Amino acid sequence: MTSTAPRTPQDPPAQPSAGPALALTEVHKTYGATRAVDGVSLTVERGEFFGLLGPNGAGKTTLVEIMEGQRRADSGTVAVLGASPWPRDTALLPRIGVQTQTSAFFVRLTAREHLATMAALYRCDAAAAERALATVGLTEQGGTRVDDLSGGQRQRLAIASALVHDPELIFLDEPTAALDPQARRSLWQVLRDLKGQGRTIVYTTHHLDEAEALCDRVAIMVAGKVVALDSPARLIAAAGPTTRLLVPADRLTPERARAVEGVDRVTEEGGSLVLETTEAGRVLAAVDAIAGLQGVQTRTASLEDVYLELTGTGTGTGTGISQP
């Protein structure tokens, strides 16, 4: 909160300083013997959609809380929109938006009243609430009590709460968790629109497809460290041009599959043999000649493969993934 006059929808978002949205150097944070954040350095450019990925306990929440100014790093430097978030910088707070946990809603209010209350806390005028409702596609539900919103609508309201004061930098923590596929996809469009407005978004998710579809760059964290940082496309390309052919297991023996020229590796997955190759056309032709192609599926590398490889839960076949 600031002592400035209420902002109006006509006010342009504050763009006071150039330079990156976030700049972290050698940030450490330990809890007792646990190294929650273990020497993280990264930069997020303005307007970037930046994903933070990693398994449970990797340190994502701790890192985000440090960036938001909710936690103090033990060591290292943190610059958020050119300022230090710790100790709490009241000039910085209106410039960043943090997705509210749905448990922190004013449940007895309507969606519109909830946002109007949030807007008032930031000394924004009432039109700000209406604008945020529209941004997340909730205008029609504005008169619905928060209690009565669906899960997807609540998630939208959580995002609207982070936007209501028109921040430059937005932190979103698993905004599509627990949504059905349709609701997820429609929320993606809301997020793309936010990026289209030039906002910087730091996005924590466990959905790899989502990170691949939305993020300009992702950092993958494991045990407090960033183990990969690049665009999804570059991470996937660096993982190698491996294609996986899934052949119904009753059509081909592993021995026969291994003997096919161009097959690098054969494993079993569910009811399928998985043939890994960098020569998909050649191997497909051979499989066709041996067993036919009915039921055969091909899968090229995805961000999920890269992620599973780096987090130690993959098949161990990836190669050459670039480290930061």
Ligand X SMILES: Nc1ncnc2c1ncn2[C@@H]1O[C@H](COP(=O)(O)OP(=O)(O)OP(=O)(O)O)[C@@H](O)[C@H]1O
Helix ranges (DSSP H) in 136-238: 151-163, 181-196, 208-214, 232-238
Asked if 31 is part of the footprint of ligand X (rule: CB under 6 A), the reply reads yes
Q: Write the single-letter amino acid at 105.
A: F
Minimum CB–partner distance for residue 123 and ligand X (Å): 32
Segments of 15-93 assigned E as strands: 22-31, 34-44, 49-53, 75-80
Give the C-alpha separation, 313 to 86, whole Å: 36
Closer to ligand X at the Cβ: 31 or 197?
Answer: 31
Binding part of the chain for ligand X, among 8-16, 30-38, 152-160, 277-285 by CB under 6 A, reads 30-38
Binding-site string for ligand X from residue 56 to residue 75, where x marks contact by CB under 6 A and - marks none: xxxxxxx-------------
Closer to ligand X at the Cβ: 6 or 55?
Answer: 55
Minimum CB–partner distance for residue 56 and ligand X (Å): 3
Q: How many degrees, rounded to 5, is the angle at CA 41 between CA 173 and CA 73?
A: 70
DSSP string, 80-124: ETTB--TTT-TTTGGGEEEPPPGGGS-TTSBHHHHHHHHHHHTTB
Give the C-alpha separation, 84 to 171, whole Å: 16
The number of residues that bind ligand X (CB under 6 A) is: 11
- Per DSSP bridges, beta strands 22-31 and 75-80 are antiparallel
Binding-site string for ligand X from residue 78 to residue 97, where x marks contact by CB under 6 A and - marks none: --------------------
Return the half-sphere exposure (C-beta side, CA atoms, 13 A cut-off) of residue 275. 31
Minimum CB–partner distance for residue 85 and ligand X (Å): 16
Minimum CB–partner distance for residue 88 and ligand X (Å): 18
Q: Please name the residues in contact with 100: beta carbons below 8 A apart, sequence gap of 6 or more.
A: 118, 158, 161, 162
Minimum CB–partner distance for residue 241 and ligand X (Å): 31
Closer to ligand X at the Cβ: 237 or 308?
Answer: 308
Identify the sign of the CA torsion 102, 104, 106, 111. negative
Asked if 34 is part of the footprint of ligand X (rule: CB under 6 A), the reply reads yes
Q: How many degrees, rounded to 5, is the angle at CA 239 between CA 234 and CA 240?
A: 105
Minimum CB–partner distance for residue 217 and ligand X (Å): 18
List binders of ligand X among 131-150 (CB under 6 A): none
Closer to ligand X at the Cβ: 129 or 228?
Answer: 228
List binders of ligand X among 224-263 (CB under 6 A): none
Minimum CB–partner distance for residue 179 and ligand X (Å): 17
Could you list the residues that contact ligand X (CB under 6 A)?
31, 34, 36, 54, 56-62
